[in-house]
Amino acid sequence: MKLVSGIETPDCWTDSRRPLPALRRLLIGAAVLGVLAGTARPDTLAVDFKNPGSSASCLGEFGRCTFGYDFTVNSSIALSALGVFAPSGHFAENHPVAIWTAAGSLLASTTVTNASTPVRSADSAGDWLFSPINPILLMPGTYVIGELSLADTVEESATVLTQPQVSFGNARFEEQQTGKPTFPDLVTPAVNAGFFGPSFEIAPEPGSLFLLGLGLLALGWRRLKPKHLRTALLCGFALGAAFLGR
């Protein structure tokens, strides 16, 4: 027996107590490896920017503003996190952030803080900070994202960078009194690229390795005797853990 990632596993090739045909072991191992590799890819930053022309802050009567933009989803995506751009990599305050339908129905919200997960931006002035949400599926259509800002500034009039599944729309803005983001229904086309402000991450789709792994797993499972199932799965996870460094 061997220990892999703290799990006691059989010697997959020489354990005589639970003999498995070598081809069958390899099949199960490759299947689990494919599934693990296919689900290990990182999320993708959906909207980024670089070279902003200026910065903006909330100067309204209430001193609180929701900054953001609308965007179009060209093909279905799964959102996994919401984020806010942090000049110099840190905030002076926490930032509630939300995403809505084009009609203003709230879909998801969270709060981004200095303790949130950093993600590198194409702009050298700072980084993104992201907080996870329960994944939601966005079908093709138009949506709005916004973040609440008081003391921190947002970048504007920048070169916008998007993933192919997303098209950038218009900058949006809303003054408010509440301590949470308000649907920003004031479109500001004079700002030729939105307020940054907020962004979101796209969860990876099942890749070819993942789909291949599922196919191999189904084939191996169907041909495997029940008494050998536990050994085969442990061998597969051992191989996957060793390959991925888990």
Asked whether residue 136 falls in the same domain as residue 186, the answer is: yes
Q: Phi then psi for 159, rounded to 5 degrees?
A: -80, 120
> Would the pLDDT of 110 be above 60?
yes
The strand pair at 159-162 and 141-149 is best described as unpaired
> Would the pLDDT of 225 be above 80?
no
Asked whether residue 32 falls in the same domain as residue 7, the answer is: yes
Asked whether residue 124 falls in the same domain as residue 27, the answer is: no
- The CATH number of the domain where 161 resides is what? 2.60.120
The runs of H, that is alpha helices, within the chain are 22-38, 208-223, 229-244
Asked whether residue 110 falls in the same domain as residue 175, the answer is: yes
Query: Which token pair is 161?
Result: 């960078």
> Would the pLDDT of 169 be above 70?
yes
Asked whether residue 108 falls in the same domain as residue 195, the answer is: yes
Give, rounded to a whole angstrom, the gap between the first and last alpha carbons of the chain: 19
Asked whether residue 28 falls in the same domain as residue 109, the answer is: no
- Domains in the chain: how many in total? 2
Give the residue numbers spanning the domain of 16.
Answer: 2-40+206-244
Q: Phi then psi for 63, rounded to 5 degrees?
A: 70, 10
Asked whether residue 73 falls in the same domain as residue 172, the answer is: yes
Asked whether residue 212 falls in the same domain as residue 117, the answer is: no
> Would the pLDDT of 4 be above 50?
no
> Would the pLDDT of 130 be above 70?
yes
d(CA 59, CA 169): 24
Q: Reply yes or no: is the peptide bond before residue 215 cis, omega within 30 of 0.
A: no
* Residue type at 97 in one-letter notation: V
79 CB burial (10 A radius; 0-12, 13-18, 19+): buried
Asked whether residue 145 falls in the same domain as residue 225, the answer is: no
> Would the pLDDT of 93 be above 80?
yes
Asked whether residue 25 falls in the same domain as residue 58, the answer is: no
Report the chain's C-alpha Rg in angstroms: 24
Asked whether residue 109 falls in the same domain as residue 161, the answer is: yes
Asked whether residue 82 falls in the same domain as residue 164, the answer is: yes
**What's the pTM value of the predicted model, to 2 decimals?**
0.68
Q: Phi then psi for 57, rounded to 5 degrees?
A: -140, 165
For the chain, the average pLDDT equals 74
> Would the pLDDT of 64 be above 90?
no
Query: Which token pair is 141?
Result: 């259509």
Q: What is the pLDDT of residues 29-60, one digit of tens each?
A: 555 555 455 454 578 899 998 887 777 777 65
